[in-house]
Amino acid sequence: MGLRHNLGSGFRTAFTDVVFAIADWSQDERFPEPFRDVFVENDNGWRCGDSRPGPDLAAAVVSCATIRTVERPHLLGMQPDDLLAHLTGSGVATRPSEARRILAHVIAAGRPGFPSARPVPARLARAVEATTDRTPLEVLERAVDLRDGFVKYLLRSPDGALSEAVRIPLERPGAFSVCLSSQVGCAMGCAFCATGRLGLRRNLEAWEMVAAFSRLRSEAPGLVTGAVFMGQGEPFANYDAVLKAAAVLADPCGGRIKAESISISTVGLVPAMRRFAREKHRYRLIVSLTSAIQARRDRLLPEVARWPLGELAGALRELHEAVGQRVTVAWVVLGGVNTGADEVAALGELLAGVPFRLNLIDVNDPRPDGFQRATPEELATFRDRLRSLGVPVVRRYSGGAATHAACGMLASRLVGGDRPPRDGSAGLAARC
């Protein structure tokens, strides 16, 4: 079945794309191959799908425009099998190697157009151009922290939605990771998080996450070797899209990132955690606990209060059994709030028998009456107490504070009325 089968099911594109595809086609061919089973010439003239026959092609185009639009899935949200299925489902004969070459050129190499070293047939390039999208995200703002090298980007999607991503320098010179958002805003309402105060606008699509990665990678003064889904939003509230984006990033013809170098963070959506464990993904899951005392955690992370800490601990145990490794627990350190002996005792009881490592993350809250970072003395005492649990404790550096680039702040300033400059960037060449 041809393209007719795929029309009109939700991808945002204008029917004029079809018209331009027709206008571009050379005169010696009857019709663009992807559209041959959509526009058909018979004894009664041209018709579009199930529409009434028209006297000529122009009339068929007008008739078709009133009843359907053309699906245009985004190339950056695809793996080779996806592109192959899309094209063959549209009546375009495609080899698996051709689908791989196209995505290696577009995603792995980050280049426009189509591969030139081992070109694909012109008819295939025209079909991809006519039936898929590759619109990039627009960079509205870059915030560079000269102290630590963190660069935070404010990005705009074609529909105007704003999201953020951060380029993070790693200890090895010339190596970087990218922190990606999964939603526009966030519905979790965590008391210490700026993004939570934005509210949730919508989920990001897989291609938007990959596009953010591609944009930051293209400007990195070195090699991007990892990705973390720890930006705006709760990744497990957008589970399918996040896991698809991770799959594209880990694909040899996609982001070419090792699956083990991709981390996904969650505040503890227990059903999604259990699904993740059942599916046995190779990505690392980081669970933000922040408090092991139920009443306190309910106040700090209100939207996950529906799952008692006992259920969360059970999901962590299932995850450990599935992956056979220590699970990673994140703890946002709030001065005077969650650093006491009561928290250490509760944590030891909650995760007894579950091998885990604890990542300590300093809070970023610019509000005058907001949460404060722990003093060095308070943090040292807390770490000494945690050592009694016999688990690895790592203090994660929280970058970007000098430029007010903590998560959610760029979008918050823009919503507040600032108008940042527009800018663009070039692509990064690489080989799949």
- Annotated active-site positions, please? 164, 407
Quickly count helices (H) and strands (E) in the chain. 13, 14
CA dist 57 and 43 (Å) reads 13
- Position 404 scores a pLDDT of 55
Fill in the DSSP letter of residue 420: P
- Position 233 scores a pLDDT of 94
For 386, the token pair is: 């945690």
Q: What angle do CA 157, 244, 119 make, to 5 degrees?
A: 80
CA dist 176 and 168 (Å) reads 5
Cβ burial, residue 170 (10 Å; 0-12/13-18/19+): middle
The parts of the chain modelled with pLDDT lower than 50 are 1-55, 60, 62-69, 415-432
Could you give the strand order of the β-sheet that contains 356-362, starting from the edge strand earlier in sequence? 138-144, 151-156, 162-169, 175-180, 223-229, 262-266, 284-288, 327-333, 356-362, 393-396
- Position 198 scores a pLDDT of 82
- The closest alpha carbon to 307, from 198, 203, 188, 192, belongs to 188
Residues 218 and 424: beta-carbon distance below 8 Å:
no
- Position 400 scores a pLDDT of 61
- Position 409 scores a pLDDT of 55
- Position 47 scores a pLDDT of 44
- What structural domains and CATH numbers belong to the chain? 3-65 (no CATH), 75-131 (no CATH), 136-260+404-420 (3.20.20.70), 267-398 (3.20.20.70)
- Position 201 scores a pLDDT of 93
Alpha-carbon 287 to chain mean position: 18
- The closest alpha carbon to 131, from 60, 73, 208, belongs to 73
Residues 87 and 100: beta-carbon distance below 8 Å:
no
- Position 39 scores a pLDDT of 47
3-state secondary structure of 7: coil
Task: Count CB neighbours of 431 within 10 A.
Answer: 9
CA dist 158 and 134 (Å) reads 11
**Tens digits of residue pLDDT in 24-62:** 443 334 444 444 444 444 444 444 444 444 445 555 454
Q: Which segments within 322-378 are labelled E, that is strand?
A: 327-333, 356-362
**Tens digits of residue pLDDT in 216-231:** 999 999 999 999 999 9
Residues 159 and 137: beta-carbon distance below 8 Å:
no
- Position 270 scores a pLDDT of 98
